[in-house]
Chain A
Amino acid sequence: MAGGRDVKRRIKSVENTRQITRTMELVATSKMKRATDRVHAARPYADALHEIVSGLYSPGLADRYPILRRPEETKRAAILLLTANRGLCGGFNTNLIKQARTLMADLRGRGIETELHIAGKKGIAYFRFRGEPMLMKRTDISDHPTVDDAESLIGPLRDRFERGEVDAVYLVSSKFKSAMSTPPQTRELLPIRAEGEASSADVYILSPSGDMILDRMLPAYIRNAVFTALVENAAAEQGARRTAMKSATDNAGDVLEHLTRTYNRARQAQITQEIAEIVGGSAALE
């Protein structure tokens, strides 16, 4: 039976593929472990900063700080999209891109101009293919994002918001719920949404002053929101890759089982046929 050798070759090739996907799964698992640790390590700062900023915030401050300005109408919005530099992570990048496109369509539908700022090769490649202009293309954000990375992403946007060149800044990134669940989400970074109505600042000794502290901490607050998103995005990417590679490995196993069965059946059929031929041949001689 001629099929036997072909099947054997396919088995070999699927085995190789399975070995690769399994290795990638293991690599992603260990990278995810470290990335998850970073997500957890970044939380105390974010929580404490949030508490301080919302404690000092009062609606009257908006007149004094450009960063707190609340545009009456939104003419132009910036979208900061965080994607991965690499693929082979299931729907991770596709979901993020889809989320960004939905947001763009929604904003344009309301008559708002949009501009794109993208980190990650995958997002850049997609929007280049679509012919969408991008104001920022960054591919140098590693698996281990730093605060400086976050600052370099958001700093220019924050300045432009303060100067009134954009009226809103949206951040599209993945939320890291667990390795299995990394849904894309959209957050409105600027203008800052008022949260704490009651200011708790009265009971504190403020040095130098509540306004000054807020002035220093607000940029840090925005930057940290981006930093947290970068860290979560990195963890989510590895989680998505692990899940994708695990199902690829499992699939390869199923395919192998099927192919092995086909091969064995072919081999058995060949043996049976050979015996039949021998028996037939000797019977013809008698």
Chain B
Amino acid sequence: MAGPLNVSVVSPSKVVFDGQASAVVAPAWDGQVGILPGHAPMLALVGSGVLSIDRPGGGSDTFHVAGGVLKVERDQVTLLTEYAGDEPPAELPAAAIVHVEDAEA
């Protein structure tokens, strides 16, 4: 059984969340992605939506995030985001919009 995930959510001006989690559901560019302990190393672009972090003891924290990149490596989850807050951003940063055509090109 793998240990808990270490999660940090970082925006340019501050560390929004830093702690342990049993599971993370993040809005990747092409849909929600769930991460459990023992996940393979991954780098993914972040779109916009709700990031939910389940705490090991139960309960969860949620943030609205938009744009950025998600990195998973050895149970360390780092989410760099342009925007993180309790409310959805008033205006989506350009980085949060990824067109499927671009991605397939």
Chain A positions near chain B (C-beta within 8 angstroms): 38, 41-42, 44-45, 48-49, 52, 56, 146-147, 201, 203-210, 212-213, 216-217, 219-220, 224, 227
Instruction: Point out the residues of chain B lying under 8 angstroms from A210, CB to CB.
Output: 43
Instruction: Point out the residues of chain A lying under 8 angstroms from B45, CB to CB.
Output: 207-208, 212-213, 216
Q: A48-B78, A212-B98 are in contact. Are A42 and B29 (CB under 8 A)?
A: no
Q: A52-B69, A204-B43, A207-B30 are in contact. Are A45 and B11 (CB under 8 A)?
A: yes
Contacting pair A217 B13 (CB below 8 A): no
Q: How many A-B residue pairs have CB under 8 A?
A: 80
- Bound Cα distance from A90 to B104, whole angstroms: 55
Contacting pair A217 B103 (CB below 8 A): no
Q: Which of A44, A49, A146: most chain B Cβ within 10 A?
A: A44
Q: A38-B13, A42-B13, A52-B80 are in contact. Are A216 and B43 (CB under 8 A)?
A: no
B8 within 8 A of A: yes
Question: Which of A48, A206, A213 sits near B10, CB closer than 8 Å?
Answer: A48
- Bound Cα distance from A44 to B11, whole angstroms: 9
- Bound Cα distance from A217 to B104, whole angstroms: 18
- Bound Cα distance from A24 to B44, whole angstroms: 48
> In chain B between 42 and 73, which residues have their CB closer than 8 angstroms to a CB of chain A?
42-45, 67-69, 71, 73
Q: A45-B80, A52-B80, A216-B45 are in contact. Are A209 and B103 (CB under 8 A)?
A: yes
- Bound Cα distance from A207 to B41, whole angstroms: 11
How many Å from the CB of B44 to the closest CB on chain A? 4
Instruction: Point out the residues of chain A lying under 8 angstroms from B42, CB to CB.
Output: 204-207
- Bound Cα distance from A207 to B33, whole angstroms: 11
- Bound Cα distance from A201 to B43, whole angstroms: 9
Which residue of chain B lies nearest to A205 when distances are taken between CB atoms in the complex? Answer: B42
B24 within 8 A of A: no
- Bound Cα distance from A206 to B40, whole angstroms: 11
Question: Which of A48, A56, A146, A208 sits near B103, CB closer than 8 Å?
Answer: A208
